[in-house]
Structure 1
Amino acid sequence: MSRIIAGAAGGTPLASVPGSMTRPTTDRVKEALFSRLAAFGIIAGARVLDLYAGSGSLGVESGSRGASSVDLVEFDAKASSVCQRNADLINGVLASKVVTVHRGKVEPFLERTAEDARWDLVFLDPPYPLDEVALSAVLAKLAAHLAPAAVVVVERSSRSPEPGWPAGLERFAERKYGETKLWFAEPSVPDAIGPGTEATE
């Protein structure tokens, strides 16, 4: 069973999506990921976006650790229902509405987002059937809605190729955890002050 690892609701079990329609991030990978994000100093006070949210585990973890707002975007009815349960759980612990669930497809969500909307931390764990061209198109839409020092985390199978980064985004690190690979990117604009380039492993 997945759980919230740390923060205000640390140790709290999370609802999971039934069956195998989603590919939840394991607690091992999640712990390693958030350890790295904490080192970047990016979580506390961040505006977080969790695309293809599944159960909303990554977004809810961010809320527990002090994010100022979290948007979970999930199209599947069962998965978005689980997202809502987990959002209600963390909002109840925090006694404020930090996490909001948006049921719908990722591309239309980004297209209708206000031009001045900016996120500091974005998670993408797209389904494997989403090909690299489609993923690159989503990243291109996302690039217009990032804060200058934002961090984007793309989770894929370790057998998948590196995402095609569109203009406005560049990869600065990658990490492999068994069958999971995480790609870290940041805005590629002159005034961006992100975590900076790291050696890859």
Structure 2
Amino acid sequence: MRVISGRFKGVALTTPKAGTRPTTDRTKEAIFSHLDSWGVLDDARVLDLFAGTGALGVEALSRGARELVAVESSASAAALIAKTLTALKHHRSWESDMSARVFKARAEQYAARAAGQPFDVIVIDPPYAFATDDCNQLLTDLVANGIAGTDTVIMLERSARSDDPTPPAGWEITEHRDYGETAVFYIEAERTNSDEETDA
């Protein structure tokens, strides 16, 4: 598994022997082409929940993000992400104002306890068995604790056979795309009429 595009294109990602379900290159390319087209990755602060191999967060860094926080509950997977990030920090394309770190924690615990400046982009790729109600609670906690702000773009991957998530009050699914067995949802704060007039 390698970084698809950007400043770290071609860099190999260390992957666990088992226990993770990495996003396919086809789906990853579709997701990041979409985010690129919105211009949300440049200098972005990115949160990668259920980070697994760290592939989504690292791809975001490669494509212009400046800060990455990866959250992974498996000790072995978190250690491999840390190893990948250390290698990136020695890469010739790493810049001094970039930062990346990994937290060994459950995504639900992080969302319920973390606080601070909202992230620009949040990518969430839970196991397919992660219940829809748990997914909805996670989204609610991200918004309630200010981890997701009004300008945050949330990308959520689920099984195409799962029920659609229910965004928190004031948020909506702005796009939904299926790639084989994977459903991808883009969730954003609802736009008000004043927002639309400002952008006009």
Match of 2:112 in 1: 111
Match of 1:141 in 2: 141
Match of 2:125 in 1: 125
Distance in 1 of aligned mates of 2:76 and 2:20: 10
CA 1:107–1:192 in 2, change beyond 3 Å: closer, same or farther? farther
TM-score, with length taken from structure 1: 0.88
Question: Does structure 2 conserve the Cα–Cα contact (< 8 Å) formed by 1:146 and 1:187?
Answer: no
Match of 1:46 in 2: 44
Superposed, 1:173-188 pairs within 5 Å as 173-188=175-190
TM-score, with length taken from structure 2: 0.89
Per-residue CA deviation, residues 2-52 of structure 1 (Å, 9 max, x unaligned), is: 111111111111111211x11100111111111111000000111100000
Question: Does structure 2 conserve the Cα–Cα contact (< 8 Å) formed by 1:10 and 1:64?
Answer: yes
Superposed, 1:1-201 pairs within 5 Å as 2-19=1-18, 21-93=19-91, 94-96=94-96, 98-114=99-115, 116-143=116-143, 144-188=146-190, 190=192
Question: Does structure 2 conserve the Cα–Cα contact (< 8 Å) formed by 1:4 and 1:12?
Answer: yes
Deviation larger for 141-150 or 9-18: 141-150
Distance in 1 of aligned mates of 2:195 and 2:119: 14
What amino acid does structure 2 have at the position aligned with 1:102? F
* Structure 1 position 192, deviation (Å): 6.2
* Structure 1 position 154, deviation (Å): 0.6
Question: Does structure 2 conserve the Cα–Cα contact (< 8 Å) formed by 1:158 and 1:176?
Answer: yes
Stretches of structure 1 that go unaligned for 5 or more consecutive residues are: 194-201
- Size of the alignment, in residue pairs? 190
Distance in 2 of aligned mates of 1:65 and 1:99: 14
Distance in 1 of aligned mates of 2:39 and 2:176: 18
* Structure 1 position 95, deviation (Å): 4.7
Instruction: Give aligned-pair identity as a percent.
Output: 36
1:31 match: secondary structure: helix
Distance in 1 of aligned mates of 2:13 and 2:150: 32
Match of 1:199 in 2: none
1:59 match: secondary structure: helix
Distance in 1 of aligned mates of 2:136 and 2:118: 19
* Structure 1 position 128, deviation (Å): 2.1
* Structure 1 position 189, deviation (Å): 5.8
1:17 match: secondary structure: coil
What amino acid does structure 1 have at the position aligned with 2:172? E
Question: Does structure 2 conserve the Cα–Cα contact (< 8 Å) formed by 1:63 and 1:98?
Answer: no
* Structure 1 position 92, deviation (Å): 2.2
What amino acid does structure 1 have at the position aligned with 2:107? V
1:171 match: secondary structure: strand
Stretches of structure 2 that go unaligned for 5 or more consecutive residues are: none
Distance in 2 of aligned mates of 1:100 and 1:192: 34
Per-residue CA deviation, residues 119-152 of structure 1 (Å, 9 max, x unaligned), is: 1101111112221111100000112322322110
